[in-house]
Structure 1
Amino acid sequence: MTDRAPQPVERRLPTEESRQLVELVRDIVSKEIAPRTAEEEEAGVFPREVFSLLSESGLLGLPYGSAHGGGDQPYEVYLQVLEELAAARLTVGLGVSVHSLACHALAGYGTDDQRAAHLPDMLSGGLLGAYCLSEPASGSDAASLRTKAVRDGDDWVITGTKAWITHGGVADFYTVLARTGVEGARGITAFLVPGDAEGLNAAIPEKKMGMKGSPTAQLHFDGVRVGDDRRIGEEGQGFAIALSALDSGRLGIAACAVGVAQAALDEAVRYATDRRQFGRPIADFQGLRFMLADMATQIEAGRALYLEAARLRDAGQPFSRQAAMAKLFCTDAAMRVTTDAVQVLGGYGYTLDFPAERLMREAKVLQIVEGTNQIQRMVIARHLAGPETR
């Protein structure tokens, strides 16, 4: 079955430019993304040409400054673009979020020379990025990572394995966190590694229950050599850089989750109003009507939560707690909404002929990536009650 473009969501956008931007995204979605989503996801096709088109259209660097090829858009607008993309195909929406995450370290902590040398191609030059923090033995406990970077003259030599890397093996650059000093968070440094670096190899992509078009793979660093000019920030500053990036990245996941949930609700409403049983549309039955109402309410609440966090970020105010709340609520809501959408469609919801089952499978990963929802609860609780006592 060919997926349909998402139903337009009424959006409150701050400028005429941002309204035109969303219209451009909707045009790309309807012509280039939605018609191929079902077929390509089932076949596991990575839509590299879509990311190239998004780059050409100025959509891969939206929240970054125009001086280096970005879109100068507030996070409030960027996240709504992510929602539109994720509603059509999560592989694309999440891919843009990951790319933005990979650019965060250089944009926020790089030198002027580093930004001038690399950001234009990263933001609008057709390159695609990936973010390398997790490892086989350090996921939630990211500060215990084992990948090492050892100084050798004017170079660094990186050795180790990264895991669960979105765009692993297809990215043009990787933002890599590696240990350069003492154990724990204070001994980690960030590096910008070219995708074609000698000694960098990707494993066979993971076989996943959803997002089959998005390659997720381990990366093996076998003595990968990069110059000191590719070190981002100070030695030992990497973990702080990583946490800063994750606060923003969690908002991207929240927006993607709302997009997936909105797509599921749209499909459920279409089916419920078309499907007739006992001589009338099943949307007439109160039990089902209440399900649809609850689904819509969760989506609106999630959207309001991520947008409020984005506005705090845009205003330069602390937003870490709100980002964790948005990621937690929106992804849990997406799981509930997509599960209910399958139920509304009944037996058809369990088949590949309708997108509900795919959306349900895709929603699950959003509760895991960028910090599991259990980690989000820990983050929120620390803001409320302080660190845990030992």
Structure 2
Amino acid sequence: MDFTFSSEEDAYRQELQRFATKVLAPHYQSDDKVAKLRSELVTDMAAMGLTGLRIPERHGGQEATAVIAGMAAEEVARGDFNAGYLIIVNALISDILTRNATEQQQAAWLPPIASGEALPAFCITEPEHGTDAAKLETKAEPDGSGGWRLSGEKTSITLGMAAHSALVLARTGGPGARGVSAFYVDLDKRYVSRSAFDDLGSRAIGRASLHFDGLPVSREQLVGAEGEGFVSVMQGFDYSRAIIGLACLGAAAASLDEAVQWARDRETFGSPIGTFQGVAFPLAEYTTYLKGARHVCYEALWRKDNDLEHSSEAAMAKFWAPKLATEAIHQCLLTFGHLGYSSESPVGQRLRDVIGLEIGDGTAQVSKLVIARNLLGRNYAP
């Protein structure tokens, strides 16, 4: 059993740490105040190859392993948690397109994603259908010439205000999952309107509702076979949920590093506050918990890379890591006392930001359902 990274992986992690510290971290809080995605962020991420991690080299990407994608999300999120969304969304969409799109489609769609020229969004959730995505109501109605027209609303779309293109699930057939198809489309403003959310956290990523009003879609924009969109898309979520877990743990680790240093520097009653068990023990506990959660996340990604079943491990990562990260960051804020409650500290923003991924991409209840069915068998689980 080998728990070490290779020398190349360690060197890449160090490169990511320098990038996150020097390039990303200085903008983390100011981007939140402006509540808008900086175009420079996309450019900087693309220059590091982070927008094309899971894209094949022949299409301009890095063709990185799932483990490397998770490592990148973890280290980027230490400097700027919201920059991690560019890795999470791009990796998920790229993986789906690589597995399901034709070579011609990949050659047209993947290079702009890898270069940062095209920022994609993932459009599944609807006002009445989040977890139960197989019942979505957005329609792709035949236009009489072999294509379709997309009509309906997608909501809670990450990067929704900034995205140039989107992978959209829409109903082309009858009820249920088999009536759903996937399309990769340009977000033409003549047919797509956007409404931004005023969120508690992660304001820079521009979560939004997108309204499709008869967007023309050709057969060349159909991803995979008609009626197979739901199944092909859902298969991609397993490993992306482990990447989400590592992004949350990266933010928690940054806060923990800051709290540990504060416990050394801050004195009260003539001693550093770290000498008091009430301060030191919670930091020791969360260091332990975070290490355990990292192992779960990386195991899921390792299993993905080795073509092993990983849905249960990915579900563990998704429900545990965001929850644990939220709790750990909260404890770090308390360690700083009144200074941690100030908006000048990044700890409070990390807390607000990480909470969003306790909800997004699948709630804890959904993850536990996946684990329970793997554990007990479908006939003996909820």
1:234 deviation in Å? Answer: 0.6
Residue 176 to residue 210, structure 1, CA distance change in 2 (3 Å):
same
CA distance in structure 2 between the aligned counterparts of 1:356 and 1:89, rounded to whole angstroms: 12
Specify the alignment match of 2:174 in structure 1.
182
CA contact under 8 A between 2:193 and 2:211: conserved in structure 1?
yes
CA distance in structure 1 between the aligned counterparts of 2:237 and 2:368, rounded to whole angstroms: 15
Q: Deviations over 1:58-84 (max 9, x none)?
A: 221112321111212111111011001
Letter in 1 for 2:162: V
CA contact under 8 A between 2:36 and 2:206: conserved in structure 1?
no
Q: Does 1:272 align with 2:299?
A: no
- Percentage identity across aligned positions? 34
Specify the alignment match of 1:213 in structure 2.
204
SS at structure 1 position matched to 2:343: coil
SS at structure 1 position matched to 2:309: coil
Q: Does 1:163 align with 2:163?
A: no
CA contact under 8 A between 1:163 and 1:218: conserved in structure 2?
yes
CA distance in structure 1 between the aligned counterparts of 2:255 and 2:182, rounded to whole angstroms: 38
1:343 deviation in Å? Answer: 1.3
Specify the alignment match of 2:139 in structure 1.
148
SS at structure 1 position matched to 2:203: coil
Q: Does 1:376 align with 2:367?
A: yes
1:38 deviation in Å? Answer: 1.8
SS at structure 1 position matched to 2:122: strand
Specify the alignment match of 2:184 in structure 1.
192
Deviates more, 1:296-305 or 1:348-357: 348-357
CA contact under 8 A between 1:179 and 1:189: conserved in structure 2?
yes
Q: Does 1:305 align with 2:292?
A: no
Q: 2:67 aligns with which of 76, 92, 96?
A: 76
Deviates more, 1:337-346 or 1:38-47: 38-47
CA distance in structure 1 between the aligned counterparts of 2:167 and 2:142, rounded to whole angstroms: 18
SS at structure 2 position matched to 1:163: strand
Q: Does 1:201 align with 2:197?
A: no
SS at structure 1 position matched to 2:162: coil
SS at structure 2 position matched to 1:235: coil
Residue 197 to residue 36, structure 1, CA distance change in 2 (3 Å):
closer
CA distance in structure 2 between the aligned counterparts of 1:200 and 1:287, rounded to whole angstroms: 54
SS at structure 2 position matched to 1:380: helix
Deviates more, 1:214-223 or 1:39-48: 39-48
Deviates more, 1:18-27 or 1:129-138: 18-27
Specify the alignment match of 1:109 in structure 2.
100
CA distance in structure 2 between the aligned counterparts of 1:48 and 1:385, rounded to whole angstroms: 47
Specify the alignment match of 1:3 in structure 2.
none
Specify the alignment match of 2:51 in structure 1.
60
1:15 deviation in Å? Answer: 4.9
Q: Deviations over 1:21-69 (max 9, x none)?
A: 3333223222221112122212323122111121132221112321111
Letter in 1 for 2:183: F
CA distance in structure 2 between the aligned counterparts of 1:125 and 1:78, rounded to whole angstroms: 16
1:169 deviation in Å? Answer: 2.5
* Corresponding pairs, count: 378
Specify the alignment match of 1:14 in structure 2.
6
Deviates more, 1:379-388 or 1:264-273: 379-388
SS at structure 2 position matched to 1:213: helix
CA contact under 8 A between 2:188 and 2:215: conserved in structure 1?
no
Letter in 1 for 2:228: Q
Q: Any stretches of 5+ residues in structure 2 without a counterpart?
A: none
Q: Any stretches of 5+ residues in structure 1 without a counterpart?
A: 1-10
1:197 deviation in Å? Answer: 5.6
CA distance in structure 2 between the aligned counterparts of 1:244 and 1:212, rounded to whole angstroms: 28
Pairs within 5 Å for 1:24-39: 24-39=15-30
Letter in 1 for 2:48: S
1:126 deviation in Å? Answer: 2.6
Letter in 1 for 2:46: S
CA contact under 8 A between 2:20 and 2:78: conserved in structure 1?
no
1:12 deviation in Å? Answer: 4.0
CA contact under 8 A between 2:52 and 2:91: conserved in structure 1?
yes
CA distance in structure 1 between the aligned counterparts of 2:223 and 2:43, rounded to whole angstroms: 26
SS at structure 2 position matched to 1:106: helix
CA distance in structure 1 between the aligned counterparts of 2:85 and 2:49, rounded to whole angstroms: 17
Specify the alignment match of 2:327 in structure 1.
336
Deviates more, 1:172-181 or 1:151-160: 151-160
TM-score (norm. length: structure 1):
0.93
CA contact under 8 A between 2:194 and 2:210: conserved in structure 1?
yes
Residue 252 to residue 120, structure 1, CA distance change in 2 (3 Å):
same
Letter in 2 for 1:169: M
Specify the alignment match of 2:115 in structure 1.
124
**Alignment root-mean-square deviation, CA:** 1.6
CA distance in structure 1 between the aligned counterparts of 2:230 and 2:176, rounded to whole angstroms: 9
Letter in 2 for 1:162: K
Specify the alignment match of 2:280 in structure 1.
289
